Structure 1
């Protein structure tokens, strides 16, 4: 196992995102969702997954909202890794950083922010529960990517009880509604290549749930993976592995197996965090080994803000001295590592250097220098 930092802080994943939300500018517009992660004190090496309640004080839910048996996922039948046909990732044409660049052509920071951040492909988040429009909004993104022969990165983020009731709380009202939402989401995937980052924090941050609620959530996640793959066999679906400073690899692998990850394309790690790429590669390989090392599974890593690694004091809220990491690519040169992605858009504040979830040019400039 990769040695965890002496101080670890759980970061609620959605501390600012590109989010394809329904608004006056159309369903295909990627906009940041202004959700805020609360300020946390440093936590021990295996942190409480709840940003607001400790294990000792949280009262488990007595009756699950959508009780299902613990899933027993079937192993994938693929015998070898699938090589992508398209190697270029998609940059959605609308985001707060692009809006700022277009509105400030004379600002001395614009050229650097544009070349190092705005021009890079980043994930599109679907963080609101909107069952009537989700298929059309997903389809708008996948169709735009297909027209450019590029691969979009989509983040469905509507699992009930997400963020353990913390600042990023929300999602579908219950798991039955979530299952229907995923069905609609899948209808928008089209037939081209697409990467799906399925529900950040939903597995690593599940200790706050009762055993029955956790089993029900994992059953829905397993179903979601099957649904997405059935709708588009070229979709590459990845499951939540937390990051190298969170759960030990063996524990995370056990949770992933319960949630159906063995029938997926692999795992993702470091979403919205700062862990070094080297630490994440080592950690992800250990998680995959603990899953039995199937050749069909790989890993993708969020490198958006990990250029200088995690701050030694465990600070998570727009910490000083951080830098953007490796540019997004599907050609990593690392065995078992399928892609480096920018799931969190650099420059969107965690809430300390600007309003949470909004683009802050001074922060973006610091990251890009």
Structure 2
């Protein structure tokens, strides 16, 4: 079974989907090559910085190269869609970059071989893999990403098998996102037991793989205060059994803000010289969306490209822990790759040849004082900033619309498919309908949506504005209501009536 788990942390009510096993070429390296390259990469990772750069370098050598997974979802999409208008940008700015590989399905019988497949391939390439462990029992406090090992004893045993696949080469382990910052569902004893298990996990990994670096959950800059997070990290064994902590996983907070927060946490821990932070910069280039929108919000951008050359002694690396383009559950099914999301993140960013600068200067003494909604279960949404649309629409004489809503008390999402059932092509489209209730659109993707009273207008985003005869396209949105959520049955596309299907 594959270890390439789609990252379904934010929105899915079920477990992560699986993918096809890694290509056999990943396991085809000779042992000699793997050992030699692994030793070289280990020396690179653990090298002590000397000279002028020593004061501003974390514990990783700045020249460390992180593993680029040839079987990631984005790499597969690029290979399968060479003629797509979005491919060049996605390939250059997303698929070319190393990203976290998630272990989120509880498969104790295969986890050792799954891990070994990654570490062997990484060693053969002279690169350092970033492995994300997401198996703690009651992860996400039973929310959108519920799952994991059945109990802590099973988790301990699973970690032992995970560690057995790491080998002697270098690796970075992102150990259990949200497991320390999010404990609201746990009693005091359950929290104590979890933290003890995390501490054992760090010790187990280090014993089996001395060149592995383990980072514990540091939350993010707009969640717990630095003092609170430091106390929890201390209880989870960070001083003895970890190399530091990670922040901002799957979130949008700016790199500068996270650096300042990380330094405040380190200060609250007593500034131990052996601890550093890593920051997820996979989609924080434009910061958070307005109003706290979290589910595939529009207008976001990839941030700092993955690197160990952070220019900051407190920060070991900027990483893409959440693979850019893997949906939260609004633009597409949670954990699946969405080219629309990836393209927007990439199009709003610079090329890798001119990556964002290392770190803005931030005063690290101010820390948040209020606990806010965590990474995985935000509640507030807002209408995202829309991207540019195409030229004024022309051409349609026949169309059909499929409107599928998924409702819960007070809220809903809707997926809409528009099909050109005529014989002439459509160049640019505008779809209109009127609600029969008090529904309000609060966020959208793959279209620009405006609303005036009950009247709603959805317009293409340019790249999806051309529909040949028989072709279709889809978009979606999130909304709210108070009394009822009737499905609209009358639609017009470019002024022509469409049949509802």
TM-score category, normalised to shorter length = 0.7 to 0.9
* TM, length-normalised to structure 1: 0.79
Where in structure 2 are there 5+ consecutive unaligned residues? 1-6, 27-53, 348-501
Aligned residues of 1:86 and 1:193 also touching (Cα < 8 A): no
1:247-303 residue CA offsets vs partner (Å, 9 max, x unmatched): 000000000000011121101000000000000000000001101100100000000
2:255 is the alignment partner of 1:259: no
1:305 matched to which residue of 2? Answer: 283
Q: CA offsets per residue over residues 109-143 of structure 1, 9 Å max, x none?
A: 10000000011000100001111100100011011
The CA deviation at 1:25 is 2.6
* Distance verdict in 2 for CA 1:26–1:334, change over 3 Å: closer
1:218-237 paired onto structure 2 within 5 Å: 218-237=195-214
Out of 161, 171, 182, which is 2:159 matched to?
Answer: 182
Instruction: Summarize the alignment of residues 285-304 of structure 1 with structure 2, pairs less than 5 Å apart.
Output: 285-304=263-282
User: Which of 110, 122, 125 in structure 2 is aligned with 1:148?
Assistant: 125
**Which structure: larger Rg?**
2
Name the CA distance, whole Å, in 1 between partners of 2:24 and 2:72. Answer: 11
Cα separation, 2, equivalents of 1:192 and 1:138: 12
- Once the two structures are superposed, residues 152-179 of structure 1 have per-residue CA deviations (whole angstroms, 9 ceiling, x without a partner) of 0001111000010011011111000000
Q: Which consecutive residues of structure 1, in runs of 5 or more, have no partner in the other structure?
A: 1-10, 31-79
Q: Which residue of 2 aligns with 1:314?
A: 292
How big is the shift at 1:224? 0.2
Q: Establish whether residue 113 from structure 1 lines up as the match of residue 109 from structure 2.
A: no
- Residue 204 in 1 paired to residue 200 in 2? no
User: Contact between 2:59 and 2:316, CA under 8 Å: does it hold in 1?
Assistant: no
Question: Could you tell me how far 1:13 is from its partner in structure 2?
Answer: 4.0
Shift in alpha-carbon separation, 1:273–1:216, aligned structure 2, 3 A: same
Q: Distance in 2 between matches of 1:12 and 1:139?
A: 23
More contact order relative to length (CA 8 Å, sep ≥ 6): 1
Match of 1:25 among 21, 24, 31: 21
TM-score (ref. length: structure 2): 0.59
- Kept in 2, the 8 Å contact 1:249–1:283? The answer is yes
1:284 pairs with 2:262: yes
Cα distance in 1 between the residues matched to 2:91 and 2:19: 25
Measured in 2, the distance between the counterparts of 1:85 and 1:243 equals: 24
* TM-fit CA distance, 1:14: 5.1
Name the structure where strand makes up a greater proportion of residues: 2
Query: Does the 8 A contact of 2:16 with 2:335 survive in 1?
Result: no
Q: Is the contact made by 2:181 and 2:224 (CA closer than 8 Å) also made in structure 1?
A: yes
1:56 is matched with none
Give the aligned partner of residue 171 of structure 1: 148
Partner secondary structure for residue 313 of structure 1: helix
Give every structure 1 segment of 4 or more consecutive aligned residues whose post-TM-superposition deviation is greater than 2 Å: 11-16, 19-30, 80-86
CA–CA distance in structure 2, aligned partners of residues 24 and 123 of structure 1:
17
Distance (Å, rounded) in 2 between the aligned partners of 1:229 and 1:157: 18
Q: How many residues align?
A: 308
- The answer as to whether partners of 1:86 and 1:150 remain within 8 angstroms in 2 is no
Give 1:354 shift: 1.4
CA contact (8 A) 1:308 1:321 kept: yes
